[in-house]
Amino acid sequence: MEKILIGGKLSVSPVCLGAMNFGTTTSKENAYAVLDAFVDAGGNFIDTSNNYAHWAGTGDESETLLGEWMKERGNRDKLIIATKVGFDRHGKGAGLKKEQIEYWIDESLRKLQTDSVDLYYAHTDDADTPAEEAIETFNGLVKKGKVRVIGASNFDVWRLQDANNYALANGLQPYQVNQQRFTVLGTRGDAVPKYTFNEFTSRERLRFLAAKNIPLVAYSCLAKGGYEDPSRLPADLLTGKRYDAVKEIAAARGISASAVVVAFLTGLRDQPGMPVVIPLFASSRVDHFMENLRGADVKLSTEEMQQLLS
């Protein structure tokens, strides 16, 4: 599997494995099987958080399982591990104040059983904390060697740019990766996101990220399995001709509809005016995950890409 350079120093696979449910709704046995299969296929980019999946457990399970798996496999140096800080944990822990960031990075490092995190995200913007405070604190972690690259997830575009302007004006590392919700389908204009800043990726955001050379890690890209089972599609997504086109291309190529979505997203980096897009997805079953991962090796034609872009 080819690698992509992000943040100037992280060589990552073109897809990212999401470990959100590992250790909670996905058993240890199944999580290990998916992780092993991903690495065997050439993947190295794995995503977690300090609060996954707190709605199904304590919020410590994902990072803890990854730490145990890496220790057992002895493969930490071959992986790019991303984790996050800033979102809620059972009504506590939300925010990007200095003391919160500094506390939770140490907790994440302890659970992951590692000395540093490759990519550390602000999991969501914190309107009550000055952007300067957060980005200065993240840079302090970089200087201490606890973090290599910093990123922002669930940020308004203007807030992301304000923070990066401050960083660049003061000789600090800016947020170099954006993680945001994105898939082939568009969203209804009247849809309200569950959380304040987890807006769906717009065309404007794509143009912004392309202009600033910031890669997009696309979460919820497989729409909760809705490309295979329409009943699972989130209610705020629009179907219509794009959904039909995904199904048609999948049938013609003999791959899953979800694999077509992965192929489309990874192919966007070759389209004019588009940023590097890295689809983030997971599964509790190896066969499902590997079928969807096939999309990373599929190059859609110009005509197929246009079908899904129009």
Cis peptide upstream of residue 53 (ω within 30 degrees of 0): yes
C-beta separation of 163 from 175 below 8 A: yes
C-beta separation of 87 from 47 below 8 A: no
DSSP annotation string for the chain? ---EEETTTEEE-SSEEE-TTBTTTB-HHHHHHHHHHHHHTT--EEE--TTTTTTTS-S-HHHHHHHHHHHHHT-GGG-EEEEEESS-BTTB-----HHHHHHHHHHHHHHHTSS-EEEEEE-S--TTS-HHHHHHHHHHHHHTTSEEEEEEES--HHHHHHHHHHHHHTT-PPP--EEEE--SS-B-TT---SSTT-PBPPHHHHHHHHHHT--EEEETTTGGGTTT-GGGS-TTB--THHHHHHHHHHHHHTS-HHHHHHHHHHHGGGSTT---EEEEE--SSHHHHHHHHGGGG----HHHHHHHH-
Which residues participate in catalysis according to the annotation?
52
